[in-house]
Structure 1
Amino acid sequence: MSKGIESIFKPYLQPKKAYEGGKGIPPSKGKKIYKLSSNENPLGQSPKATEALLKAAQNVHIYPDQTDIRLREALAKDFDHQLLADQFICGNSGSEIIDMILRAFVNEGDEVIFSNPCFLPYSVFSRWYGAVQVDIPLLEPDYTLDLEGILNAIGPKTKIIFLTSPNNPTGTYIPKSVLDDFFHRIPNNILVVFDEVYRHFANASDYITALPYVQQGFNIIGINSFSKTYGLAGQRIGYGYSTEKIAKYLRQIHKPFLLPLTSLEAGIGALEDENFIQKTVETVHEGREFLSEAFDQLGIVYWPSQANFFLIDPPLPEFEFTEILMEQGIMVRPVSQFGAPGKVRITIGDHEANKALVNALQKIKPQG
């Protein structure tokens, strides 16, 4: 008797649970729901992106561009031509760029290093390719990077190191001095994937992106998304940038017609809307200050954030806390699956949403 189809299933793909994104807004029966669970843009989307998207929608019967060159050229302009168009790689979300990188570089048995709490796809996606996962947790209580731990974990099978700044779900960042030290101590045959999706919201004096390290020729890829600052989460657009050698290699697995026409045009339009980007950043910064003060007054334990969300230690068990807020029309996200058991992540909304959140929290008495 022949073996069943299960005999050719990859063992490292089962029976593991897949990554699940944030939940959508449930039916509310007329009650307003504030979705502060998925780090979406509190202002919606760029008007210029909407205009470009609607115009493109008239032609969705036609195949889109075969390549992403027009978006890459727009990105090069957005980066003030500090990078060439050939140094970018685009895809359907920042998550897909991560998947492309793993597919291009990782073989079964290779090691991938990440630091929990972190974005779950680092571990879930690397498992798809049979990678050995090495978790070097962030150092508590401040969730700082364990630089020495990562360096000591590097071995002959290490292929990729994931770094995130600002980090999801903690909101913490990696200071420039730490990164400078790090890049001068790792072997030159290891790729660093630097997730900077929330970079626009960081305003710490020693915050730094992947850009200067790419310019210096280090083996690093900066990961970005149009879902946050640009308000295009529903269009699923992301990009990475790196050295020309790495970017050219990655584009070898870039499918033709990868980006839908509407996404392509919306992305290009969003990059041109400087006023919307500035207003989004200002809204997040104002909300971050407002909520920090409110958390202090309410006795809510939280971590200082450089992103558009906060990680808090709720005064009740995480799921009970989440359900109570949901009853008051506030959606937040428990992040145990991100490696932060018992904690909850709260997106910074517009002022109305932030006030609604504070009003809801006032009805919950912190323990202790």
Structure 2
Amino acid sequence: MKFVDEAYIDIAAGDGGNGCVSFRHEKYKEFGGPNGGDGGRGGHVFALADPNLNTLVDFRFSRRHEARRGEHGMGSDMFGAAGDDIVLKMPVGTIITDAETGEVLFELLKPGELITIAKGGDGGFGNMRFKSSINRAPRQKTPGWPGEKRHLKLELKVLADVGLLGLPNAGKSTLITAVSNARPRIADYPFTTLHPNLGVVRVGPEQSFVIADLPGLIEGASEGAGLGHQFLRHLQRTRLLLHIVDLAPFDGADPVAQAKAIAGELKKYDPALYDKPRWLVLNKLDMLSPEEREVRVKDFVKKFKHKGPVFQISALTHEGTQELIKAVYQHIKAQQVAEQPSEYVDPRFAGGDEA
């Protein structure tokens, strides 16, 4: 299925039903009094965070969503029935924004989270509501209130602990295949990955984290060049970025220049994203001899001047991948503990430090 991470929809909650003017008519009882019931409320529109969804593609083909209006009140003290609510299922990580003002209204961050995005109108009052000691035969009623109507922008930002970034063919898909349950398409040409792939990395019993493989970036991505720029937003919610570098590019390009170009694109797109913890992962060491490997690694580290951790791996042969994921897990665990209140521990990180 095509990955769609943005959509526009129109929603309308149901209008409330009108109140009723009615009087009781019984044999031998000429003045039975008012018995007009209230109208029913209009249906609400809800958004449900569904963990089984990973795209907004359904909303590309179905853009108008309306809840039913409430039924009108009737005589004999009968109130109108409430209109049926509708529930729109959306992927976890969806941001709901008012398309007119740009205001962020809601964020679906937890699986199963249910929020009201448009409230149905209240029903109108029937004439029995207006009965009093000085007005025994009221003929007043009120119409139902209109339901809320909104033009919304839906934007999906995947919820992952770790994001992979790098040039096309840097080995991101091979790495996520080696360490997780994700099975993206892998080929020996650029731009094989066309949409984000999520994988769960199992470090040990009840110890795991979520990793995201995004389409490769190229220079100029922050201005819209290439494909990866469409998905840079998905890195904004990650706790850690792994910058995958091809240490043995087949075209003979300079890995240092390529890595600096990607770092520059991050900074142009979002300085906060650039400031996130970012580790260097030097990949494709299996393509180099032991002597050449040592020389290239030292040369790269010296020229790139990276301040964070540097890992050497071969995603194809799995060399160094276990050490990498254990270090990543420990980093995420430390961040999670620091962010949560002291009495709270995420169940994923409750299994201890040992894998």
- Classify the TM-score, shorter chain: under 0.3
User: Larger % of helix: which?
Assistant: 1
- Structure 2 length-normalised TM: 0.23
